[in-house]
Chain A
Amino acid sequence: MEKARPLWANPLQFVFACISYAVGLGNVWRFPYLCQMYGGGSFLVPYIIMLVVEGMPLLYLELAVGQRMRQGSIGAWRTISPYLGGVGLASVVVSFFLSTYYNIINAWAFWYLFHSFQDPLPWSVCPLNSNRTGYDEECEKASSTQYFWYRKTLNISPSIQDSGGVQWEQGLCLLLAWLVVYLCILRGTESTGKVVYFTALLPYCVLIIYLVRGLTLHGATNGLAYMFTPKLEQLANPKAWINAATQIFFSLGLGFGSLIAFASYNQPSTDCQKHAIIVSLINSSTSIFASVVTFSIYGFKATFNYESCLNKVILLLTNSFDLEDGFLTASNLEQVKGYLASAFPGKYSEVLPQIRNCSLESELATAVQGTGLSFIVYTEAIKNMAASQLWSVLYFFMLLMLGIGSMLGNTAAILTPLTDSKVISSHLPKEAISGLVCLVNCVIGLVFTMEAGNYWFDIFNDYAATLPLLLIVLVEIVAVCYVFGLRRFESDLKAMTGRTLNWYWKAMWAGVSPLLIISLFVFYLSDYILTGTLQYQAWDASQGQLVTKDYPLYALAIIGLLVASSTMCIPLVALGTFIVRCLKRGDTPPVA
């Protein structure tokens, strides 16, 4: 008796699941950084070109494979060719690594969310030092938001070698994050299908509220103007194109097996072409939308810092020369400086080293990405807004929704092959399998709550998924086009959905996309080889800033292991299947 495969209750749930998975933290904290680094408005040109040439075809391919094979990644690729089960296994391994380290971000979001209910916000003021005469030294050297992130949240150690102990507060938040994820995936598509309505829609509500607030902030237009003025010379920079391609690739979450898993729960007659186009368009427009919000916040923060800097200079000059209070303003500052330099040259030269050159440009040019953007830069901007608790709660709630939405996809990529496998699902019910996966991930994730945990997080973030995914997707395209056969796949799709495959998709799958991926792969490899030893940014508490250090040997070994454990699955499984088949052929005598 075959148990029916669970299905999405309606196609909308599937679309929301894909959107919720694809629209994640990378849209909020990586795209604005890339936009700023590679030419502002002109970065949109390579971005949109890559979306059409690389993003949509690859997304369509994964959804079509999942919908056609109606199995998780391992089963789907094994069906295409028995030697390619390794591709699915590599996807599962990469998803496993991703889900291990990704949920710590949700833990941090919970931590900040819980701390947002205080007045004043804990990251807006420095704590006092032991004899109450001044502020804590580390906090003075850095800023209060950096101090709260590096000391209170992470309690970071000076280098990756000093592991320190597990921080129980972070451990509790991680446990809560995994419980929430477990709650959402407990019942499979039945529960996931309902949760994705929230995780897909709520971030947009918050982004819209933030857009309105952001645009009305003082100085927001500075940031927007800075971002959107196109610097056309960046179009000639190959790095801009490469980064556009990588951003599209990783932002859509290709190669993890999540999209295959989601599509496998579809009705076979679903029009996945339409869905692929919709999801990729929504993903990219969310990135652009989020960067508008981010840049208005940047503009506000930069203007605020610039004005504080100016005020400090004004105060310094007023005090040193005993000028009338209120006489010096931002507009006459330069004039008065000139006058003072000529009238009191001796005293002026004494004061000169302390006068900082305040520049709005340099404040805007501080480009940050990743956790630094969300937990340091945004919190700094939020603490200066009116009703900062409200904005803080909204912001971290949005981060949580984005993070949990992506986690649902990650865990689906691991669970679908497990529940598909007859061996495992006959012994354990679905709830127990999900529970075990969550428990294992939670326990391993405690590594990231240690004092050196953030350094390990950076290792996983930079190396666990980047190179293996490129290889996996490359093998996927080659497998579908050349091993399975493009014509056979085309006729299968036609039989399934009733629509003929457009020539555009065929051209992209067979030619353009594989070439693009190969060039990305070559670029990444050469980049790693050329940089020599890998380095990381460590927090130096005595200086209150980040310093660059080299990875120790065992960390390099672990990086190598991370990359190898997923990529080696592909050839090893192929080899293993080949050997098993040879043995079987050797055992059974040929039938006449």
Chain B
Amino acid sequence: MRQNNSITQEHTRRSKAKADGENAFKVRLSIRTALGDNAYAWDTNEEYLFKAMVAFSMRKVPNRETTEISHVLVCNVTQRVSFWFVVTDPLKNHTLPAVEVQTAIRMNRNRINGAFFLNDQTLEFLKIPSTLAPPTDPSVPIWIIIFGVIFCIVIVAVMLLILSGIRQRRRMSKGPTEVDDSEDKCENTITIENGIPCDPLDTKGGHINDAFMTEDERLTPL
């Protein structure tokens, strides 16, 4: 008698777990893609773990704390690895509504993924969309900080150059008014090199003879 019971029980359970059932979900695992050489084989023990994780997730839902591993049915396991599962309620003899199962799985997705060393892409629950991680938004965008730094440096450099230019011009207008004439190219390249047409101290007397210009006068310290 008992054997008959268990066989009929098995029958009813199998018929409930038929694929494409309203409350059934298809699961797809890509173990080799995720783990490469460290991939484990999918066997009945892994199935047991899966059922345990689903039961665990259902237990977290209020009113469903009594869900047992045996209430979770798995069928149609393929080589892929993919299979269908459904959660039953033996007391009322029906399958739990999809919405409840979906909410339970979504809330514990990370734990389920972790148990199998997989992630949302390699352990897929078709029909259950995964919640995407929110983007990290710093309070001040990073680019503005870098922009601000470079902007300040450039402004300071511009100010420095303008101020030094004004100072040079004031020094020039206060000093001797004679400026070297352009015919003396050699002197031009030296004196203009610093951006300032420097007036050597002895222009007041008259024309300078290059040959007698000593080294340190040529290189005016400025």
Residues of A whose CB lies within 8 Å of any CB of B are 1-7, 9, 110-111, 114-115, 117-118, 125, 127-128, 132-135, 172-173, 176, 179-180, 182-183, 186-187, 190-191, 267, 318-319, 322-326, 429, 431
Q: Quick one: closest A residue to B32, CB to CB?
A: A326
Q: Quick one: closest A residue to B178, CB to CB?
A: A1
Number of interface residues of B (CB under 8 A): 45
- Chain B residues 132 to 175 lying within 8 A of chain A, measured CB to CB, are 132, 134-135, 142-144, 146-147, 150-151, 154-155, 157-158, 161-162, 165, 169
Verify if B197 is at the interface (C-beta below 8 Å from A). Answer: yes
B77 nearest CB across to chain A (Å): 10
Verify if B68 is at the interface (C-beta below 8 Å from A). Answer: no
B162–A4 CB distance below 8 A: no
Main SS of chain A's interface residues? loop
Given that A117-B142, A325-B81 are known contacts, is A4 also in contact with B197, CB under 8 Å in the complex? yes
A169 nearest CB across to chain B (Å): 8
How far is B193's CA from A190's CA once the two chains are assembled, in angstroms? 7
A322–B80 CB distance below 8 A: yes
One of B10-18, B97-105, B182-190 at the interface:
B182-190
B178 nearest CB across to chain A (Å): 8
Verify if B206 is at the interface (C-beta below 8 Å from A). Answer: no
A-B pair count, CB < 8 Å, reads 106
A176–B30 CB distance below 8 A: no
Other-chain contact of A325, B80, B161, B194 (Cβ < 8 Å): B80
How far is B39's CA from A325's CA once the two chains are assembled, in angstroms? 11
Residues of B whose CB lies within 8 Å of any CB of A are 28-33, 39, 78-82, 129, 131-132, 134-135, 142-144, 146-147, 150-151, 154-155, 157-158, 161-162, 165, 169, 178-182, 185, 188-189, 192-195, 197
B78–A4 CB distance below 8 A: no
How far is B135's CA from A190's CA once the two chains are assembled, in angstroms? 48
How far is B165's CA from A324's CA once the two chains are assembled, in angstroms? 76
B150–A176 CB distance below 8 A: yes
B80–A117 CB distance below 8 A: no
A120 nearest CB across to chain B (Å): 10
Given that A1-B179, A325-B29 are known contacts, is A176 also in contact with B154, CB under 8 Å in the complex? yes
Q: For residue A324, which residues in chain B have a CB less than 8 angstroms away from its CB?
A: 79-80
B79–A132 CB distance below 8 A: no
B157–A183 CB distance below 8 A: yes
A114–B33 CB distance below 8 A: no
Q: For residue B81, which residues in chain A have a CB less than 8 angstroms away from its CB?
A: 325
The 9 tightest CB contacts between A and B, nearest first, are: A326-B32, A114-B143, A322-B78, A322-B80, A190-B195, A324-B79, A325-B32, A114-B146, A4-B182
A132–B131 CB distance below 8 A: yes
Extra 5 A-B pairs, beta carbons < 8 Å, given A172-B151, A322-B82, A325-B81: A114-B147, A172-B147, A176-B147, A179-B154, A179-B158
Given that A4-B197, A114-B146 are known contacts, is A179 also in contact with B155, CB under 8 Å in the complex? yes
Sample 11 A-B pairs with CB under 8 A, ordered by A number: A2-B181, A7-B188, A128-B132, A133-B129, A135-B132, A179-B154, A267-B185, A318-B80, A319-B80, A323-B80, A325-B80
